[in-house]
Chains A and B, each alone.
Chain A
Amino acid sequence: MKYKLGFAAALLAASFLSTTASAKTFVFCSEGSPEGFDPGLYTAGTTFDASAHPVYSRLLEFEPGTTKPVAALAESWKVSEDGKEYTFKLRPGVKFQTTEFFKPTRTLNADDVVFSIDRQINKSNPWNQYIAGASWEYAAGMGFPELIKSIEKVNDLTVKMVLNRPEAPFLANLAMPFASIMSKEYADSLDKAGKKEQLNQMPVGTGPFTFIGYQQDAVIRFQKNADYWGGAPKIDDLVFAITTDAAVRYQKLKAGECHLMPYPNAADVTSMKSNSNLKVMEQEGLNIAYLAYNTTQAPFDKPEVRKALNKAINKKAIVEAVFQGMATPAKNPIPPTMWSYNDKVQDDSYDLEAAKKMLADAGVKNLSMKVWAMPVSRPYMLNARRAAEIIQDDFAKIGVKVEIVSYEWAEYLQRSKAKDRDGAAMLGWTGDNGDPDNFLDTLLGCDAVGGNNRAQWCNKEFDALVKKAKVTSDQAERTKLYEEAQVVFKREAPWATLDHSLSIVPMRKNVTGFVQSPLGDFTFENVDITE
């Protein structure tokens, strides 16, 4: 890096050398502080990027760049005929990281796996409340406490999990960050020392990087784990420089103070692409933004009214105005990168005249409705109010008067799920495990009414299809069921599907080996820096 020597050069020169100092120090300008380092306790991607991905491994992990769960700490597994019994054979000789604060004396075994999962689902496990108020939100969200009947050690390298019902996405769920495998030996040593809470502050795992230290809200440091079971990383040090403002992250990237940054401002992307020191990777994100009608209330209980309104939404305008083109209009409730995406489904084309006529045919006149807009920017919808204004404008053209409402975020989430909520609520979803079930049943299933199913939509035909797919293990058959479910969804139109945003990752030109994850994770075990 060339720095001009200016007025304070003599004083400052030393500090600038830093950016070039250690060739194999990789700096990631992360977007926020991790909440803690025990992935089981949290649900935020920012936390997982700093804990689950560098420090820990899981029984299965998603193949880089895909949502396909592949063998990781589990070398192989068997599923019983009835789909309820999973037997995992663990990889032998996997070493836990040696740190300043813990020296492991044994390799990974079944006790570690049982400990890691059981503490999240079993209230009588002594580690269930090792921190007051530990709520194991993700495990609960994926239904683990009700799903898993038992988890037991068969021998040192074999673990058996018995489910209460067959569940096809179970293997994908085990690849999720919350199911990271911790060291029981480390936990026991903390327990003995009376420092249980340290498990959430100073992590030890079997992942590619060893945790060195965290300065709150500033820097997280990791070192490569030379013993990593997947092969030692190519970089020596991994540093997270926490930089919450996207414009500042971009300046740091430009100045060479970091190698890679997440979540750029949409407005900066063009300038990033034209910068000769940078390169930009992009991929359709595993997400959806939608507008959920309350299908239990007139006139939104009629599919023809919902379809008429859908025809009056100019998704292209929303994508342009809100994302500067860094998103694609959505037609299905799952993103195109997900298996079973039904590309044959025809979207309701933007046609104000047709919409007006359909409304008149349905006998709807002088309709006034509320459109709910989230108060916060989310990856799937950067500016909900702007999108709502575009919808308001278009609806006015077909004679529908829109009042835009918004609440504080937690309040919004709470109120928007109420069964008697009026109008249509904007919201979205980012996939957890790459399984269509995680969108279709989680957001539109009958049992999610009054909860995640903001359309309050319970369609027997749709529900039967997704429920059947959930207990079917053959993926080809599941694909068919989900494709059919998407046809039903489009016909019934409980939502206006708005967009799938692109995930954009700018980095320095000399960064190699970074693989973009469809799940939005940032992992660095394969990255390298070339000169």
Chain B
Amino acid sequence: MFGFLLRRLAVLIPTFIGVSIIAFAFIRLLPGDPVALLSGERVMSPERHAQISAQLGLDRPMVVQYLDYLGGVVTGDFGTSIVSKTPILKQFLALFPATVELSLCAIIIAVALGIPAGVIAAIKRGSAVDQSMMGIALVGYSMPIFWWGLLLIILFSGILQWTPVSGRISLMFYFKPVTGFMLIDSLLSAQKGAFSSAVSHLILPSIVLATIPLAVIARQTRSAMLEVLSEDYIRTARAKGLSPFRVVGLHALRNAMIPVITTIGLQIGVMLAGAILTETIFSWPGIGKWMVDSVFRRDYPVIQGGLLLIAAIIMIVNLIVDLLYGLVNPRIRH
């Protein structure tokens, strides 16, 4: 197991370098120029343009810029935003907890509802229950997130007034972030009502963000379960007279979990990379929104630094998923 971990970590290094090259090169291949954007409609003279490019180091050959950048990354310096002039790592660390908090809540909802839904649909294969569940899953999967989010806001925040419209906590509460996780910070603040406010703000964005993963997980669980349920050992287990609960819960589900875990892992990766639409509509200050804004502003250091950090996180999540396989299925223990 330890050897496996080391091997996997070794593979991460070239992947990381590859990602850094791609992130660096791609953003520069995009048309658009961060220096020109600094002045908007107001035109900048060519001399000034050259001067500012030089100040930002953008006039140097690409290779030199890249090596300089890589040198910085190795020492933990991901550069400074052209626009806000603040260090990228600092911004990332301020925003990332918001993304993690939202993603975790969403994935909990998706797993807690998706797996049972998939299992029930598989057991009741072909029934009205199966068909309606998979129908709902298909609708969920195809849902335009922006529209869905706005619809929920209009219904639950506008008409019913059950939930707040957007943000992470009511503006009444003000405390300095300690962990960056609003649920934890609101508890630490010991302000009355802060925690429940944070929870209420999480409900709608979590549901919206969970919608697609929930559908994917339910469908994946159903098909994996169907495959396992037709295996010989399940028939044997049934023939032995095991209760249906033990057959499904212990023998079938555990074996069906491997592709499901892969799916969950991938979904977490996608969410951590920034739930751009959900973050935008709920004014959730996470990294997805941050990255998109930076693309529009051609803020090269933020885009390349952000991509690299996100890639690193996705690689770590994938590694954890690989390790989880072993826990679920002893036969593929490394």
**Chain A residues close to B by CB (< 8 Å):** 2-4, 6-9, 11-19, 21-22, 25, 27, 33, 35-36, 41, 43-44, 129, 131-135, 137, 140-141, 197, 200-201, 212-213, 215-219, 221, 239, 241-245, 247-248, 251-252, 254-255, 257, 407-411, 413-414, 417, 427-430, 448, 451-452
Nearest opposing residue in chain B for A10, CB measure: B196
B165 touches A248 (CB 8 A): yes
Which of chain A's residues have a CB closer than 8 A to the CB of B91? 216
B55 touches A255 (CB 8 A): no
Which of chain B's residues have a CB closer than 8 A to the CB of A33? 293
**Chain B residues close to A by CB (< 8 Å):** 30-34, 36-45, 48, 52, 55-56, 80, 82-86, 91, 94-95, 98, 150, 153-154, 157-158, 160-174, 176-177, 192-193, 196-201, 203, 280-283, 285, 289-290, 293, 296, 298
A239 and B282 CA atoms in complex are apart in Å by 17
Nearest opposing residue in chain B for A454, CB measure: B43
B112 to chain A, nearest CB (A): 17
A410 touches B298 (CB 8 A): yes
With A11-B200, A244-B283 as known contacts, state yes or no: A217 contacts B84, CB within 8 Å.
Answer: no
A201 touches B285 (CB 8 A): no
Nearest opposing residue in chain B for A218, CB measure: B285
B-side interface mostly: loop
Which of chain A's residues have a CB closer than 8 A to the CB of B172? 15, 17-19, 21-22, 25
A221 and B42 CA atoms in complex are apart in Å by 30
With A4-B160, A132-B80 as known contacts, state yes or no: A451 contacts B45, CB within 8 Å.
Answer: yes
With A4-B161, A36-B85 as known contacts, state yes or no: A410 contacts B43, CB within 8 Å.
Answer: no
A251 touches B280 (CB 8 A): no
B84 touches A140 (CB 8 A): no
Nearest opposing residue in chain B for A254, CB measure: B158
Choose from B44, B170, B203 the contact partner of A19 (Cβ within 8 Å): B170
Which of chain B's residues have a CB closer than 8 A to the CB of A132? 55-56, 80, 85
B32 touches A411 (CB 8 A): yes
A242 and B286 CA atoms in complex are apart in Å by 13
Choose from A4, A21, A134, A239 the contact partner of B85 (Cβ within 8 Å): A134
With A4-B161, A8-B162, A15-B200 as known contacts, state yes or no: A137 contacts B41, CB within 8 Å.
Answer: no
B94 to chain A, nearest CB (A): 5
B173 touches A18 (CB 8 A): yes
Choose from B31, B197, B282, B298 the contact partner of A15 (Cβ within 8 Å): B197
* 27 sampled A-B residue pairs with Cβ under 8 A: A3-B162, A8-B162, A11-B199, A12-B197, A14-B196, A15-B172, A16-B170, A25-B171, A33-B293, A35-B84, A36-B83, A129-B55, A132-B85, A140-B48, A215-B94, A216-B94, A218-B167, A218-B283, A241-B166, A243-B167, A251-B150, A251-B166, A252-B166, A257-B171, A408-B30, A410-B36, A452-B42
A129 and B56 CA atoms in complex are apart in Å by 11
Nearest opposing residue in chain A for B282, CB measure: A248
Nearest opposing residue in chain B for A221, CB measure: B174
With A140-B48, A219-B171, A409-B37 as known contacts, state yes or no: A241 contacts B283, CB within 8 Å.
Answer: yes
Nearest opposing residue in chain B for A123, CB measure: B51
Choose from B84, B157, B192, B298 the contact partner of A251 (Cβ within 8 Å): B157
A141 touches B39 (CB 8 A): yes
With A14-B192, A133-B55 as known contacts, state yes or no: A35 contacts B40, CB within 8 Å.
Answer: no
B270 to chain A, nearest CB (A): 21
A284 to chain B, nearest CB (A): 19
B164 touches A257 (CB 8 A): yes
A201 and B94 CA atoms in complex are apart in Å by 14
Nearest opposing residue in chain B for A44, CB measure: B40
B83 touches A35 (CB 8 A): yes
Q: Which 6 A-B pairs have the closest CB atoms?
A: A14-B193, A15-B197, A18-B170, A18-B172, A217-B285, A410-B32
A18 touches B162 (CB 8 A): no
A12 to chain B, nearest CB (A): 4
A296 to chain B, nearest CB (A): 17
A243 and B203 CA atoms in complex are apart in Å by 18
Among the interface residues A36, A201, A212, A251, which one has the most CB atoms of the partner chain B within 10 A? A251
Nearest opposing residue in chain B for A7, CB measure: B162
B165 touches A255 (CB 8 A): yes
Which of chain B's residues have a CB closer than 8 A to the CB of A12? 162-163, 196-197, 199-200
B168 touches A6 (CB 8 A): no
Which of chain B's residues have a CB closer than 8 A to the CB of A410? 31-34, 36-37, 298
Which of chain B's residues have a CB closer than 8 A to the CB of A3? 161-162
Which of chain B's residues have a CB closer than 8 A to the CB of A44? 40
A237 to chain B, nearest CB (A): 9
With A14-B196, A17-B193, A216-B91 as known contacts, state yes or no: A408 contacts B41, CB within 8 Å.
Answer: no
A373 to chain B, nearest CB (A): 15
Nearest opposing residue in chain B for A432, CB measure: B42
Nearest opposing residue in chain A for B283, CB measure: A243
A413 touches B40 (CB 8 A): yes
B166 touches A243 (CB 8 A): yes
Nearest opposing residue in chain B for A33, CB measure: B293
Which of chain A's residues have a CB closer than 8 A to the CB of B85? 36, 41, 131-134, 197, 200
Which of chain A's residues have a CB closer than 8 A to the CB of B170? 15-16, 18-19
Which of chain A's residues have a CB closer than 8 A to the CB of B281? 245, 248
Which of chain B's residues have a CB closer than 8 A to the CB of A243? 166-167, 283
Known: A8-B162, A15-B197, A134-B85. 15 other contacts (CB 8 A): A15-B200, A16-B200, A19-B172, A35-B83, A129-B55, A131-B85, A133-B56, A215-B177, A218-B167, A242-B283, A243-B283, A245-B280, A248-B150, A254-B158, A408-B31
A294 to chain B, nearest CB (A): 16
A24 to chain B, nearest CB (A): 13
Which of chain B's residues have a CB closer than 8 A to the CB of A140? 44, 48
B85 to chain A, nearest CB (A): 4
A312 and B74 CA atoms in complex are apart in Å by 61
B82 to chain A, nearest CB (A): 7
A429 touches B41 (CB 8 A): yes
A218 touches B192 (CB 8 A): no
Nearest opposing residue in chain B for A130, CB measure: B85
B285 touches A216 (CB 8 A): yes
A47 to chain B, nearest CB (A): 10
Which of chain A's residues have a CB closer than 8 A to the CB of B283? 218, 241-245, 248
B162 touches A252 (CB 8 A): no
Which of chain B's residues have a CB closer than 8 A to the CB of A11? 196, 199-200
B153 touches A248 (CB 8 A): yes
Nearest opposing residue in chain B for A451, CB measure: B43
Nearest opposing residue in chain B for A443, CB measure: B41
B334 to chain A, nearest CB (A): 41
A411 and B293 CA atoms in complex are apart in Å by 17
B33 touches A257 (CB 8 A): no
Which of chain A's residues have a CB closer than 8 A to the CB of B157? 251, 255
Nearest opposing residue in chain B for A142, CB measure: B42
A131 and B80 CA atoms in complex are apart in Å by 10
A19 and B166 CA atoms in complex are apart in Å by 13
Which of chain A's residues have a CB closer than 8 A to the CB of B293? 33
B153 touches A14 (CB 8 A): no
Which of chain B's residues have a CB closer than 8 A to the CB of A16? 161, 164, 170, 200
Nearest opposing residue in chain A for B203, CB measure: A8
